[in-house]
Amino acid sequence: MTMSYSHAHQQGSGTTEVVAVLVAITDHTARVLTVDQGKLLPNGPLMPLHRSLQAGVRQWVEEQTQQPMGYLEQLYTFVDTNRRNIDGHALVYVSYLGLVQETQTAQLQTAAIWRDWYDYFPWENHLLGRPIVITELIVPALEAWAKSAESDLIKKRRQQRIGLCWGIGAHEWVTEHALLRYEMLYEAELIPEAPNYQPDKLAAGQAKLLGMPMYYDHRRVIVTAISRLRAKIEYRPLIFGLMSEVFTLSQLQQSIESLSGVSLHKQNFRRLLDSQNLVVPTGESSSAQRGRPAKLYRFAHDIELQSLLMDSKLPKRK
């Protein structure tokens, strides 16, 4: 079967699927586990033998990737009216977010592929500054879309949303708005997943600058997970589910930066760690090839996870 990015579905009798976004940090890079050459996330229909949704997602992940799973939480439930079963019912799929360590998959003998999540969302990576694709491609294309509105009121609202979502004018870039930015590109029909996508809206070669597309709504599922993680790392230490048992403070900061897509102020970041008692020194140091060895730390396991970093924000670089 030839699949399109927005309408494809191999018809069956079921109405519910489970989809997993498995996130790892490798070499300070945020990555997601994919199948079908990076075009799909691990997924499968909910079967009568599954005792729960979570049991279903764990089974499909194991079968398709052999990836051991740790932390797992439900994201959202989507209804895809463009995908229907043999009885004509719209497909419902339940998405999950899992935090794992990629080193556990070194012996995989499957078609699963780890991909840098910025391959799918290049505009979200601001670690080297504001991406040129935003200023030279995305914003001009969205402004043209705003001008095409059928009324002045809709035109004005679209322009306001562009400023809010993309940090234009007096508005700041908000990392947690990743889903809103993707949905705006979808609404403006600038990405292949949009039902009425027209490649000729963009100049030759520009479409590939907007990231790697995926089948169904799986890229939307990933960006939903990105928004969720970026919001949660500001008040819950989920980052520790992605770290080795011991680490340096620089490794911890770089890992958080890989998730948020923005640089953090080093001294403010370390003061925040100290004030919240998030980590404790192991008494050992890393073996560095250059410079002085760095102290090794571990997560303070005796701290109640649900209360960490409450009402705190990660300090962004000014």
Q: What is the pLDDT of residues 152-199, one digit of tens each?
A: 999 999 999 999 999 998 999 999 999 999 999 999 999 999 988 987
Q: Which fold has domain 16-116?
A: Nucleoside Triphosphate Pyrophosphohydrolase (3.90.79)
Class of the domain covering 237-307: mainly alpha
Which of 50, 51, 33 has its CA nearest to residue 42?
33
Closest CA to 92 of 77, 110, 102: 77
**Mean pLDDT for the stretch of residues 214-231:** 93
Q: Is the pLDDT of residue 71 over 80?
A: no
Region 210-222 average pLDDT? 93
Dihedral pair phi/psi, residue 127, rounded to 5°: -65, -25
**Residue with the larger pLDDT of the pair 312 and 245:** 245
Confidence of residue 56 (pLDDT cuts 50, 70, 90): confident
| pLDDT value for 235 | 66
Whether residue 289 has pLDDT greater than 80: no
Residue 101 and residue 155: Cα distance in Å, rounded? 45
- Which residues in 216-249 are b (16+ Cβ under 10 Å) and which e? bbbbbbbbbbbbbbbebbbbbbbbbbbbeebbbb
Nearest to 34 by CA among 117, 123, 118, 121: 117
Average pLDDT, the chain: 83
2 phi and psi angles, rounded to 5 deg: -90, 125
Give the mean model confidence (pLDDT) for residues 299-305: 59
**pLDDT tens-digit readout, 229-284:** 999 887 667 777 788 888 999 999 999 999 999 999 999 888 888 887 788 899 89
Residues forming a β-bridge with 116: 31
For 6-29, write each residue's pLDDT tens digit.
444 454 445 788 899 999 999 889
- C-alpha–C-alpha distance, residues 23 and 235, integer Å: 19
Domain ranges of the chain: 16-116, 122-211, 237-307
pLDDT at 311 over 50: no
The region of weakest confidence among 30-34, 94-98, 276-280 is 276-280
Q: 216 near 83, Cβ under 8 Å? A: yes
d(CA 296, CA 169) in angstroms, rounded, equals 42
Lowest mean pLDDT: which of 127-136, 200-209, 220-229? 200-209
Residue 316 has pLDDT above 60, yes or no: no
Return all residues near 146 (Cβ < 8 A) that are at least 6 apart. 155, 158, 159, 162
Mean of pLDDT values over 207-221? 92
pLDDT at 308: 40
Task: Give the residue from 215, 84, 191, 61 showing the smallest Cα distance to 133.
Answer: 191
Token pair for residue 93? 């799929």
